[in-house]
Amino acid sequence: MSASEPLRMPPSLWAATAMPAEHTPALAEDREVDVAIVGAGYTGLVSALRLAQSGASVCVLDAGEPGWGASGRNGGQVIPGLKFDPEQLLAKFGPVQGEALIDAVGGAADEVFELIKEHGIRCDATRKGWIQPAFSGAAMHTLEQRAEQWRQRGVAVELLDKAAVSQRIGSSQYLGGWVDPRAGSLHPLNYARGLARVAMGLGVSIHGQSRVRKLQRDGGRWTLETDRGARVRASKVLLATNGYTDDLWPGLRQTVIAANSFIIATRPLPAELRQSILPGGEVCSDARRLLLYFKQDAQGRLLLGGRGPFSEPRRDADWNHLERSLLNLFPQLAGVPIEYRWSGRVALTPSFLPQLHEPAPGLSILLGYNGRGIALSTLLGRHLAARLTGAGQGFPFPVTPLRPIPLHGLQRLYLGAGIAWYRLLDALG
C-alpha cells in the first residue's frame, strides 16, 4: 500500500508563532502496546499522558502531527462547563449523576491550568476569566439565571450592565453580560505540542503521517494498519478524531456534524487599541446562537471567530463575514490589517454533549465537544485513561451506542438551514 501525501500544518496564527514541534516520525515498524490511540489532539494526548503515568504502554497515531486538527486551530479559549446550565443538567441526568457531572465540568478549566503548571507547558496560559455578553433583553435574562446558578455553587461570578460590559469589552454593542472567573486563554498549538512533549517524556510513542487505514480485532487484540503498511497491535484502542473522523469505524463519521469554525487575527495592535479592547485580558464569546468569540493573543493581536461556510475556505473573501463583524463590534479597528485567516472543524452532536462509545470489546471512542474542546477534552482524557486502566470510579457522561444522524449525507443542507434559522432568531432577539 502506498503512503498518502504528507499532511502539512495549515497556515494560521498558531502555526506561525508556535514552538518547534516534537519529532514524531511515521510508524516504520510493527509495535505491540497496551493501548493504541488514533488522533494526536488534546483527547488522544491527554489520555496517552495519563495512561503512561499509570504504567501502560501507549502508541499514538495521527494522519498529520500533534495538534494538526482542531487542537491546533481553535480560538484558544479555556471555558469550563457545557452548553447546558446546572439546573438543566440536573433535569436531564437526575440529582446524583447530574451533580457529579456539574462538579466535573465546572472544574474542567482547573484540569487544563493544573496540567500546564505541573509540567511547565509553555503556551501563554493566562486565567483572567470569560465574559459572555448579551445582545437582547431575553438573552440577558438567561445569563442572569446562568450566573446565579453558578454563584450558588461557589463561583465568584460578576454581572455586568451595559456600561460595565462596554468598558470591559471595548464594544458598545452589548446590553450586559456575566463573567466566569474560572476561564482563561492559551496558545492552542503550543498546548498540544507541550502535551506531546510531556507524553513522550513518559514513554509514549507518537507517530505522525501515519493514517490508520484498517482496524480489526483478532484473537482478543486489535490490529491497526497504517497507510505505510506498518501495524500496531494493542489490547485496547481509543479513537479520538473528533471533527476529523473518517470511516475507520463504520457509522462513526455519521454521528457528528463537522462544522467549520472560521477565525481571523489582526496585526499586533498599537498600545492604545490594546487598552480599549478586553484590557483585563479576558476571553469573550457572546450569547447569540451564531456566536462570535474573541480575545487578544500574547502579542496583542485581536482574534475573532465564528461560523462560516460548510465547505473548506479557498480565498480571503470566505472570511469577509468575520471582517464585517469585527468592525461592527470594534469600529476603532478600521484600517487595522488582518494578518491571519484560518479555519478548523468543530464536532457537533445532536445532544450538544460529548459522546463516549464502546461499540466493541476494548474499543473506546470519545468525541463531540461542541466548541468547548480544550477544557472538556483535558478533563475527559483523564477520566477515560482511568476507565481504561480500571482505576476510575465511573465516567462523567453515560456510555451511549452509536446513533448515526438520519440523512447525514445532507449535513451541508442541515447546517445551512440551521445557520439561516439561528441568524433569524438572533435578529429577533
User: pLDDT by residue (tens digit) across 113-144?
Assistant: 999 999 999 999 999 999 999 999 999 999 99
Q: In Å, how far from its chain's centre is CA 118?
A: 21
Confidence of residue 407 (pLDDT cuts 50, 70, 90): low
Higher pLDDT, 308 or 77: 77
Q: What is the pLDDT of residue 415?
A: 58
Q: What is the pLDDT of residue 115?
A: 98
Cα–Cα distance between 390 and 388 in angstroms, integer? 6
User: What is the DSSP code string of 316-348?
Assistant: GGGGHHHHHHHHHH-GGGTTPPEEEEEEEEEEE
Grid coordinates representing 145? 439565571
Q: What is the pLDDT of residue 307?
A: 79
Higher pLDDT, 109 or 411: 109
- State the CB neighbour count (10 A cutoff) for residue 145: 12
Confidence of residue 424 (pLDDT cuts 50, 70, 90): very low
Helix (H, G, I), strand (E, B) or coil at 44: helix
Does the structure show a pLDDT above 60 at 347?
yes
Is there a contact between 111 and 382 (Cβ–Cβ < 8 Å)?
Answer: yes
Grid coordinates representing 236? 485496547
**In which element (H, E) is residue 184 found?**
strand 184-185
**CA-wise closest residue to 330 among 261, 262, 260, 272:** 272
**CA-wise closest residue to 239 among 28, 396, 60:** 60
**CA-wise closest residue to 181 among 132, 143, 115:** 132
Does the structure show a pLDDT above 80 at 207?
yes
Q: What is the pLDDT of residue 313?
A: 81
Does the structure show a pLDDT above 60 at 2?
no
Does the structure show a pLDDT above 50 at 1?
no
Q: What is the pLDDT of residue 409?
A: 62
Q: Mean pLDDT, to the nearest integer, of 53-76? A: 98
Mean pLDDT across the chain: 93
Q: Mean pLDDT, to the nearest integer, of 48-76? A: 98
Higher pLDDT, 317 or 235: 235
pLDDT tens string 10-51: 999 999 999 999 999 999 999 999 999 999 999 999 999 999
Q: Mean pLDDT, to the nearest integer, of 375-402? A: 94
Does the structure show a pLDDT above 60 at 318?
yes
Helix (H, G, I), strand (E, B) or coil at 22: coil
Is there a contact between 284 and 131 (Cβ–Cβ < 8 Å)?
Answer: yes
pLDDT tens string 238-278: 999 999 999 999 999 999 988 899 999 999 999 999 999 99
Q: What is the pLDDT of residue 290?
A: 77
Q: What is the pLDDT of residue 335?
A: 96
Answer whether 0.75 is exceeded by the pTM: yes
Q: Mean pLDDT, to the nearest integer, of 209-230? A: 96
- Which domains does the chain show, CATH number per domain? 1-128+185-256+347-429 (3.50.50.60), 129-184+258-346 (3.30.9.10)
**CA-wise closest residue to 146 among 175, 177, 170, 174:** 177
Cα–Cα distance between 58 and 111 in angstroms, integer? 21
Cα–Cα distance between 32 and 114 in angstroms, integer? 32
Q: What is the pLDDT of residue 410?
A: 55
DSSP 352: S
DSSP H helical ranges for 170-221: 188-201
pLDDT tens string 356-377: 999 999 999 999 999 999 999 9
The percentage of residues in the chain with a pLDDT greater than 70, rounded to a whole number, is 92
Cα–Cα distance between 250 and 302 in angstroms, integer? 41
Confidence of residue 103 (pLDDT cuts 50, 70, 90): very high
Is there a contact between 299 and 252 (Cβ–Cβ < 8 Å)?
Answer: no
| Burial degree of 158 (CB within 10 A; 0-12, 13-18, 19+) | middle
Q: Mean pLDDT, to the nearest integer, of 214-228? A: 95
CA angle at residue 10 from 8 to 16, to 5 degrees? 110
**CA-wise closest residue to 347 among 364, 371, 311, 315:** 371
